Structure 1
Amino acid sequence: MNKYDMSERNQWKKILSRMALVLISVVIIVLFIPRNSGPQFRYDVGKPWMYGSLIAKFDFPIYKTDEAIKQERDSLLRNFEPYFNFKENMESAQMTRFFEDFTGGLPGMPATYTNIVADKLHQLYKSGIMGATEFSSIAQDTTKMIRVIDGKTAYSVRISRVLSTMTAYEQIYLDERLAPYRAQLQRCNLNEYIEPNLIYDKERSEAEKNDLLGQIPLASGMVLAGQKIVDRGEIVDDYTFRVLSSFEKETQRRSASTTAVPSTIAGQVIFVSLFIILFTMYLGMFRRDYFSKPRSIAMLYAMITVFPILVSLMIEHNVFSVYILPFAMAPIFIRVFMDSRTAFLTHIVMVMLCAAAVKYQYEFIIVQLVAGLVAIYSLRELSQRGQLFKTALFVTLASCAIYFALQLMTDNTFTTIDNSMYKYFVINGIMLLFVYPLMLIIEKTFGFISNVTLIELSNTSKDLLRRLSEVAPGTFQHSIMVSNLASAIAEKIGAKAQLVRTGALYHDIGKMQNPAFFTENQNGVNPLDNMSRIDAAHIVINHVTDGLKLAEKYNLPGVIKDFISTHHGAGMTKYFYVSYRNEHPDEPIDDSLFTYPGPNPFTREQAILMMADSVEAAARSLPEYTEFSISNIVNKIVDGQLKEGYFEYCPITFHDIAMAKQVLIERLKSIYHTRVSYPELKKPALKRDDEE
């Protein structure tokens, strides 16, 4: 297979993978979106109708409010008579036990008192005895009636005429005939012979209650198809509120039918697909650098998928309010790792997809768009924790302000403003602070690096840099100089200054393996002079591979490793190569023995480092530092790199290179203090004595 066929195959593979990503995103989002179709309006009693004229498209009943239905239920239940079965055999069983236990009479009492107690127990059982639990739940209302079933007959009894097991026991001691012997009666434990003979019939009571409640009509009127419900600007009164609520309820009931669900899903698929396809087109047309990187596009699609899923779950299960979700977190991540325009467009797509599951879409979209814009504007670069606190505060204040404005536009008065939403905005701002710890997860998952991490890595007291300063102090100072030059160039041309600064600090860490073989660490003696040119070149070239090994050992990010591998590109160690050719003019030379492993720079920041590194090293060898000598060496080195094709696959412009040379010249002039040579004062000639 030739190179062209391979390229075409890779192109088709990339296209198919992106199509699969779009399809998976659409399926996942649609799978979670609730199936609540129909119109979704926001309205309150005493406030104007904000939408157009609403006409009924079908007949529907006007449902009563929950409060009205509850009042009718309570009214019916006050007259409801629960059923109790009268157990006649309960008395006979307990009386038999009583006479068996006291055949010799009650202790300490005359024999006639046994019959008196038995007669009292008979009267109690005749009145009816209920369990303490059932009695306490009914007896609160003394006018309450119960329905007693005795065989095939049923009759109503007022609860005040019925006894509980406790009151029945107390009635025995209230009998005047037994008053003289109360102490003796207490020792007889007469409560053991008092058992309920009115047993609650739960099944019959519940059936009767359900039949009674089933007679309550849920509706009080009808609205016919074609009838106007409300018009724009009309004040929503109690009746109109009931009609609108009934209309939404009936619409949802109809949409739950088997014919409505497929149409709802079809609409959701079209809605979600349209936004994701438009987002994909934007990436393919305007952000191909992100579109070609699997990790970048994975993070973008993860952002526009995760939040709609969370919103759908919260709506479906009625958990808290969707306004506590920190939607501004997504544009913050994308702004920090990518750019503002992509962050804003991603935020728009994400909010619109979330709105498909939210009831009051207009309000939700406006609030979240403002929050996202404020987050992007207030956090251009995340380099300190304090910046995140400011952003969270600004987002919270902006959300509160825009919501307050929306309320004023619809309520027209301060007295009716709903303040319950503001607590959700505060919670949202607090949750937005979790951006800081989550950023590490995003970096590890998708291979990005933030300014916070770069600043931490550029701390010269870190293990690797501290070791570099101790083992190879000359290389460390060279790296500091290069980092300052490179970051100055990056700031001038609009590149990532902190990234190139950090990369410059680590680009020569491989020299720690053999520091004495590099000029900046030597004190007059160069051990390479006593070695063959090939071996010397091998040692110098190896500082790139040694640096990559150290970077791997210390878990440095991939973008920092790229600076190590590209700062010499696929160039040659010209000093040793030219020397070898001069020494062996007639021998064939294997150029790979004198060539760095590469690759050449493929980002602007890597190109900046290559220029700054080469120029700074060459400037050290200048015999004198004048404006001409510095300008000459800078132009010679940078133009040579450009001519040899080091920047061929790097997105750096001629204008960027010209600005880079200008910055290098100015900075080196400042570093080496070049100045105009001052003229020497000529001494006057001495006069001879005869001239005086």
Structure 2
Amino acid sequence: MKESKKKWRTWFQFPVEWRTSGRVRFLLYAGMAVLCFLLLMRDVLPHQYDVSPGSISSETIVSPVTKVDQTATEQARKQAADSVGKQYMIDDQLTDRQIKRIDTIFSDIRRNLSDQSLSDEEKISKLKDVLPAKLSKEFYDKLSQVDVDQLTEMRIVSREIVQDILSEGVRKKEIEKKRNEVDRSLVTSSLNSQARLIVRELAQVMIIPNELYDEERTEKLKEAARESVEPVPIKKGETIVAAGEVITEDQYRKLKELGFLKNQTHFWPYLGLGIVVSLLLSLLFIYVDRYQPDVHRDNVKTTMLLSVFFLTVTGMKVVALGQNLEWSTIGYLAPAALGTMLITLLLDLHLALWCGVLFSIIAGMLFNSENHLLFDFRYGLVALVSGSAGAFALSGVRSRLSIFRAGLIAAAASAVTVAALYFLVPVDGDWVVLLQSLSFGAAGALFSAVLTIGFLQHFETVFDMLSPLRLLELSNPNHPLLRRLLIKTPGTYHHSVIVGNLAEAACEAVGASGLLARVGAYYHDLGKTKRPQFFIENQMAENPHDKISPNLSKSIIIAHPRDGVKMLKEYHLPTPILDIAAQHHGTTLLKYFYFKAKEQDPAGQVLESDYRYPGPKAQFKEAAIVGIADSVEAAVRSLSRPTPDRIENMVRKIIKDRLEDGQFDECHLTLKELDLIARSMCETLQGIFHSRIEYPEDVQGKGVKPA
């Protein structure tokens, strides 16, 4: 069992350059995008059928969405446009020109007929030069005999007839019909028969087509007619083809419009899905980069985050495979809360809530079988509420039983959301569907809690991560290592407990993990159990260092961090606990034995570097704070009269010495944070080493009853 755990651990022991490499991080996100794409690719297209015109449909095919039937709509619009007749426009300029020409003709007639120097033949010859060529010989014969005094009335009648007919508009194909109307207009005229014949023939010649085809107006009306036609829809729920029915060309066309044919290539939906998945993973990357820098810089934590993400999406995909007409609302069973709970316990609440938003989007995509659109908001909303409730419920968790309690809270939140959605759209099912949906919603949240309990320990082991629950379990005094510490080195155990209290308060003051510091402090001096009598807090009588050389004493003291790390590794404790044990002394100097060695060697052959701890220096805040608390507790305990001022001076001197010695160079502690650490430790120490009153000695005769 131990060997298998060790093997699991080595799989994720990235080389240092890989652990922080940007290229590795990019490949991790890119790989997750590919996996999510593969999981979702079958959910972006409707079910497709292998049919053809004339074949018999084996099942009833219903439209899942209301969609515009482009072909039918175009046909309807074409019919509307064709129904618009040609539009004509009366050219008033032609009418005015003809009226003016009548006036000119009668002026020429009057002038020629009034010229007495001309013979009748000459008059007719000159009139032919100015009159229309279509006039008959009879017209000229009668015109030469007409009385000049009648010309004015003839002109007026001609004008009125031509004006009336042309004002109504004359089309080319109506020319003969309009010319025949001249006779009806002359019925009421007072002209004699000879004048009527002249006016009749002249008016007929002067009537020409003046109502012309208006192409621009015609096209505008046709376009207006096209736009007035409402789109012809293929309605949601409309039966396209019934089972056993022979598929017609029109039905085949509708199936093609809906994308139901297998011989169609669907490149664009896959491209769209790729873009959506890339956007979701990009949002996760940007959020982690900006608001979770510790996770972003550590590719092991990034791998764990993406593993939880993939596990959750896979769980939702498995549930989606069971969605059908009978179990249409099984999407409420999706374990979206699994991801948010695990991320809350292993990484951070805010990161879990952001991932919950992404899980809700993916849930809407996976469970959209009743809708041709990409998302079904019902399942996305329930996933969001359930995941958020589970994450919030795990804030400040103190036991693994709290995970199940969080599952109950998430189940209640899911049930309330499902009921609200049903009341919003009550026609979406009956009471049986509602009860089924409520059951799925509650079961999904509880199932997520059970999976969280099951997977949490595996993620902690595989990725060597520390959740609050695991830290609480490690702080149990019944842990074998703490029991050993208590039995073999009771003084060191008591020292470690006080260091844990000091470190926890100081970490919380600067925003570090107080729980990690406290648990790390419990184990930081575990190596002293190997040679307990060589450490002063465990000595009951003589000090063995008085009988050995300073060099040997130094070797024994310096060995305890290394011995502690070795023992912690045997029990597979998490890396942060091992790091605190290895780093809490950093490279500080063993001053007592160093100066003792110098006294014994007046020649000055003692090197300071030989009396320093091998390190490494503290790499993170919690390790540095445990180291400060370790030194402070031992130093303050040595004070004969620990007053508040003496305690504060001692604390600040220790911090100053470590700062000047470069022990904080690699843990990112600021001067402001060091000041907060000093204040916090002073407050805690004043509560521990408070002044006490002296009790008077027992008075003689105390307790003797008076006579």
- Alignment TM-score, normalising by the size of structure 1: 0.65
1:532-571 maps to which residues of 2 (within 5 A)? 532-571=549-588
* Residues 547-582 of structure 1 deviation map (CA, whole Å, 9 limit, x = unaligned): 111112222221211110011112221222233234
Of the three residues 448, 461, 481, the one matched with 1:432 is 448
The answer to whether the Cα contact below 8 Å between 2:32 and 2:306 also exists between their aligned partners in 1 is yes
The answer to whether the Cα contact below 8 Å between 1:487 and 1:500 also exists between their aligned partners in 2 is yes
Aligned to 1:164: none
Indicate the SS of the match to 1:254.
coil
Aligned to 1:228: 233
C-alpha distance in 1, partners of 2:462/2:239? 51
Of the three residues 547, 550, 573, the one matched with 1:530 is 547
Of the three residues 478, 489, 492, the one matched with 1:475 is 492
* Residues 286-314 of structure 1 deviation map (CA, whole Å, 9 limit, x = unaligned): 32321222221111111222333343344
Of the three residues 612, 631, 653, the one matched with 1:636 is 653
Matching residue's letter, 2:522? L
CA apart distance, 1:512? 0.8
CA apart distance, 1:618? 0.6
1:145-294 maps to which residues of 2 (within 5 A)? 226-229=231-234, 242=239, 250=255, 254=259, 256-294=261-299
Aligned to 2:389: 374
| Residue-pair matches, total | 489
The answer to whether the Cα contact below 8 Å between 1:490 and 1:608 also exists between their aligned partners in 2 is yes
Matching residue's letter, 2:309? I
The answer to whether the Cα contact below 8 Å between 2:331 and 2:379 also exists between their aligned partners in 1 is no
C-alpha distance in 2, partners of 1:363/1:658? 52
1:324-473 maps to which residues of 2 (within 5 A)? 324-359=333-368, 361-411=376-426, 418-434=434-450, 435-473=452-490
C-alpha distance in 1, partners of 2:254/2:521? 65
Relative to 1, partners in 2 of residues 1:12 and 1:522: Cα closer, same or farther, differing over 3 Å? closer
1:297 aligns with 2:302: yes
Matching residue's letter, 1:341? H
* Residues 30-72 of structure 1 deviation map (CA, whole Å, 9 limit, x = unaligned): 22324354689xxxxxxxxxx9985334569xxxxxxxxxxxx
C-alpha distance in 2, partners of 1:347/1:285? 18
1:60-71 maps to which residues of 2 (within 5 A)? none
Matching residue's letter, 2:42? R
Relative to 1, partners in 2 of residues 1:229 and 1:258: Cα closer, same or farther, differing over 3 Å? closer
Matching residue's letter, 1:369? L
The answer to whether the Cα contact below 8 Å between 2:20 and 2:298 also exists between their aligned partners in 1 is no
C-alpha distance in 2, partners of 1:598/1:585? 28
C-alpha distance in 2, partners of 1:566/1:349? 39
Relative to 1, partners in 2 of residues 1:18 and 1:256: Cα closer, same or farther, differing over 3 Å? farther
Indicate the SS of the match to 1:587.
coil
CA apart distance, 1:650? 1.6
* Residues 237-291 of structure 1 deviation map (CA, whole Å, 9 limit, x = unaligned): xxx6547999999369725545533322222111111211232233233323212
1:512 aligns with 2:518: no
Aligned to 1:131: none
Aligned to 2:685: 668
The answer to whether the Cα contact below 8 Å between 1:295 and 1:447 also exists between their aligned partners in 2 is no
CA apart distance, 1:540? 0.4
The answer to whether the Cα contact below 8 Å between 1:481 and 1:616 also exists between their aligned partners in 2 is yes
Gaps of 5+ in 2: 1-15, 48-63, 74-228, 243-250, 369-374, 696-707
1:55 aligns with 2:72: no
The answer to whether the Cα contact below 8 Å between 1:565 and 1:597 also exists between their aligned partners in 2 is no
Matching residue's letter, 2:656? D
Relative to 1, partners in 2 of residues 1:603 and 1:13: Cα closer, same or farther, differing over 3 Å? closer
C-alpha distance in 2, partners of 1:488/1:54? 64
The answer to whether the Cα contact below 8 Å between 1:474 and 1:520 also exists between their aligned partners in 2 is yes
Of the three residues 570, 577, 596, the one matched with 1:579 is 596
CA apart distance, 1:377? 1.6
CA apart distance, 1:347? 2.2
Q: Once the two structures are aligned, what percentage of the paired residues are identical? A: 28
C-alpha distance in 1, partners of 2:489/2:674? 31
CA apart distance, 1:643? 2.4
Aligned to 2:629: 612
C-alpha distance in 2, partners of 1:28/1:252? 30
The answer to whether the Cα contact below 8 Å between 1:489 and 1:659 also exists between their aligned partners in 2 is yes
C-alpha distance in 2, partners of 1:252/1:516? 87
Aligned to 1:685: none
C-alpha distance in 2, partners of 1:608/1:393? 38
CA apart distance, 1:539? 0.6
1:25 aligns with 2:25: no
C-alpha distance in 2, partners of 1:15/1:306? 24
CA apart distance, 1:519? 0.7
CA apart distance, 1:510? 0.4
CA apart distance, 1:498? 2.1
* Residues 369-413 of structure 1 deviation map (CA, whole Å, 9 limit, x = unaligned): 111221222111332234223211211111111222222223389
1:647 aligns with 2:654: no
Indicate the SS of the match to 1:341.
helix
CA apart distance, 1:529? 2.0
Moved more, 347-356 or 628-637: 347-356
Matching residue's letter, 1:56? D
CA apart distance, 1:659? 2.4
Matching residue's letter, 1:461? N
* Residues 120-151 of structure 1 deviation map (CA, whole Å, 9 limit, x = unaligned): xxxxxxxxxxxxxxxxxxxxxxxxxxxxxxxx
RMSD: 3.4
Indicate the SS of the match to 1:578.
helix
The answer to whether the Cα contact below 8 Å between 2:510 and 2:673 also exists between their aligned partners in 1 is yes
Moved more, 346-355 or 396-405: 346-355
Relative to 1, partners in 2 of residues 1:307 and 1:414: Cα closer, same or farther, differing over 3 Å? closer
- Alignment TM-score, normalising by the size of structure 2: 0.63
Relative to 1, partners in 2 of residues 1:226 and 1:585: Cα closer, same or farther, differing over 3 Å? farther
C-alpha distance in 2, partners of 1:637/1:278? 45
Q: Please identify the structure whose Cα radius of gyration is greater.
A: 2
Moved more, 533-542 or 14-23: 14-23
CA apart distance, 1:506? 0.7
Relative to 1, partners in 2 of residues 1:36 and 1:461: Cα closer, same or farther, differing over 3 Å? closer
The answer to whether the Cα contact below 8 Å between 1:325 and 1:431 also exists between their aligned partners in 2 is no
CA apart distance, 1:440? 0.5
Aligned to 2:641: 624
Of the three residues 35, 39, 44, the one matched with 2:42 is 35
* Residues 446-477 of structure 1 deviation map (CA, whole Å, 9 limit, x = unaligned): 11122222222212222221121111111111
The answer to whether the Cα contact below 8 Å between 1:255 and 1:261 also exists between their aligned partners in 2 is no
Aligned to 1:499: 516
Moved more, 272-281 or 11-20: 11-20
Matching residue's letter, 1:605? E
1:14 aligns with 2:31: no
C-alpha distance in 1, partners of 2:355/2:446? 22
C-alpha distance in 1, partners of 2:637/2:480? 28
